Amino acid sequence: MKSGKVWLVGAGPGDAALITVKGLHVIRRADALVYDRLVCAELLAEAPDGCEMINVGKNPNHHLVPQTEINQILVDCAQRGLNVVRLKGGDPYVFGRGGEEAETLALAGIPFEVVPGISSAIGGLAYAGIPVTHRDYASGFHVITGHLRQGNEPQDWATLAKLEGTLIILMGMTQLTTICQQLVAGGKAPTTPAAVVMYASHQQQQVASGTLLTLADQVAAQGLSAPALIVIGDVVRLRDVLAFTPELLSLNAIPSLI
């Protein structure tokens, strides 16, 4: 049987309407849709009738489906001749192991495409009123994981403290206190503005802000937890001026391309 094709699609940070035109188009034509926990229901509802919906965010025992199993699901579906959409939060190649999925497909000789998405690291912050760069405050940004694979060394926060520009940390919430302390120990000013954005661009978005010294307490007081972005740098100040309320746009209003 002729192999199907896999599209690795970025769903964007949360607000369903932040999907790309191409991403929405391939979802609407999918035979199988393999999706993660953070992908919103409104996007899943765009799959056609009869599309196989495969949740790999959690298996029936409420455990994460191991990455090797996800890779195998993609290969199996394609080898059954299906057109598969692998829908991932944010951008498929910003953490989240999209690169490994694409490598598996390449090695198995399965045709695939990547449909980039808006990463939470950039678009999620925008929804919280925080521009990742600004001529007056940050001439660059760094996107860092707070969580490393088992057996790996933890991040060298003392070295990262020396970087100029905005620091954006994903998967860092369990380490928040340590991260803030170690950045200060590494030389960042304790008064550096810092914020946590939980469920960025989702309806339940919440933001806590302060400085490297106060952020962890502020987050605890507001009861914020993962999924969240940690952002450190002077651009956080702009939130006071740039925060906005997004208009909710229904995907039904976006016509099919074919």
Task: Give the catalytic positions in this structure.
Answer: 36, 58
User: Least CB distance from residue 258 to ligand SAH, whole Å?
Assistant: 28
Spell out the residues 6+ positions from residue 173 whose beta carbon is closer than 8 angstroms to its own: 146, 196, 224, 225, 226, 228, 230
Name the residue nearer to ligand SAH (CB basis): 4 or 7: 7
Name the minimum Å distance from CB 126 to ligand SAH. 12
Nearest CB to ligand SAH, comparing residues 24 and 169 = 169
Among 101, 94, 95, CA closest to 71: 101
**Shortest reach from residue 97's CB to ligand SAH, in Å:** 9
Give the interface with ligand SAH as residue ranges (CB under 6 A).
13-14, 38, 88-91, 94-96, 119-121, 124, 170-171, 197, 199-202, 226-229
Q: Please, which residue, 86 or 88, has the CB nearer to ligand SAH?
A: 88
Residue closer to ligand SAH, measured from CB, 4 or 14: 14
**By beta-carbon distance, which residue lies closest to ligand SAH?**
90
